[in-house]
Amino acid sequence: MPGFRVHITGSSIAGAGYGLAAWYVGDLPPMTCVLGAGLCAVAGMMPDLDSGPGIPLRESVAFAAAVVPMMLVHRFQQAGMPLEAMILAGAAIYLAIRFGLAWLLKNYSYHRGMFHSLPAAAVAGQVTYLAFGTEEPLRRYFIASAVVVGFLTHLVLDEIWSVRLGMFGPKFKKSFGTALKFHGPVMWSNIVTYILAILLGALAAGDAAWTEKVAKVKQQMEQATRTYQQYPYQQWQYRR
């Protein structure tokens, strides 16, 4: 199986290429491209959150605990929260991820379970989409898809490393097919993963529709403002 260095190198290369393509072809802002590339690189460690105590779990949880509250700042502002409330909410989210999520992963996950699956990649992208609450749909889709790309890079590398070339053709290890899958051997983890995917998908679809409506109204208001500014103010003269 590929180790931590192989996974982080592969996802970093994929993130760099994805970010450059978004900047050169998609004409996205440079900072957005850099953020997407960085999230893609870190997402390459996410499937190994079920590998028990070690570098992937420690680094991924610490990174998520620090980044998720910052990604939610725009959400806090949309909710009209004061600065003190935003700081307290960010601290609570940090503690919940840093200690609560880490405890759950250490005690209730097993290696090559549903974390190594395509539905888990969808869940990771949906969570990112909901957390990154910008009003520009293209930027949200790019950031969310960057996490999915990094996640899938890990799964693809696991499958590649499970095939060995021998004298009489390729040989498949027992781990072949345990990464790019739709379900695992434990029923309860399959049910939880698919319930999360469905619920988050519904939330993301509703949020996307609302964001598009807000963006359309904002665009109409800006267009009306520009149209109004084209006509200078004229003082009306009344005749008797």
Averaging pLDDT over each range in 6-10, 133-137, 215-219, 220-224, which range is the top one? 6-10
The whole-chain average pLDDT of the chain stands at 83
**Which DSSP string do the residues of 161-224 spell out, in sequence order?**
HTEEEETTEEEE-TTTTSSS-S--S-HHHHHHHHHHHHHHHHHHHHHHHHHHHHHHHHHHHHHH
Per the domain annotation, does 24 fall within a domain?
Answer: yes
Angle at 207 between CA 202 and CA 210, to 5 degrees: 130
* Cα–Cα distance measured from residue 66 to residue 78, given in angstroms and rounded to the nearest whole number: 21
Per the domain annotation, does 157 fall within a domain?
Answer: yes
Per the domain annotation, does 30 fall within a domain?
Answer: yes
Averaging pLDDT over each range in 2-16, 140-154, 199-213, which range is the top one? 140-154
Report the number of distinct structural domains present in the chain.
Answer: 1
pLDDT at 101: 85
Q: Which residues, in sequence order, are CB contacts of 193 under 8 Å at separation 6+? A: 114, 117, 119, 120, 123
Per the domain annotation, does 185 fall within a domain?
Answer: yes
Per the domain annotation, does 100 fall within a domain?
Answer: no
Domain extent, residue 113, equals 4-52+109-221
Per the domain annotation, does 189 fall within a domain?
Answer: yes
pLDDT, mean of residues 120-140: 89
Cα 45 to Cα 1, 7, 131, 136: the distances in Å are 14, 7, 19, 28
pLDDT, mean of residues 174-194: 82
Q: At residue 114, does pLDDT exceed 90?
A: no
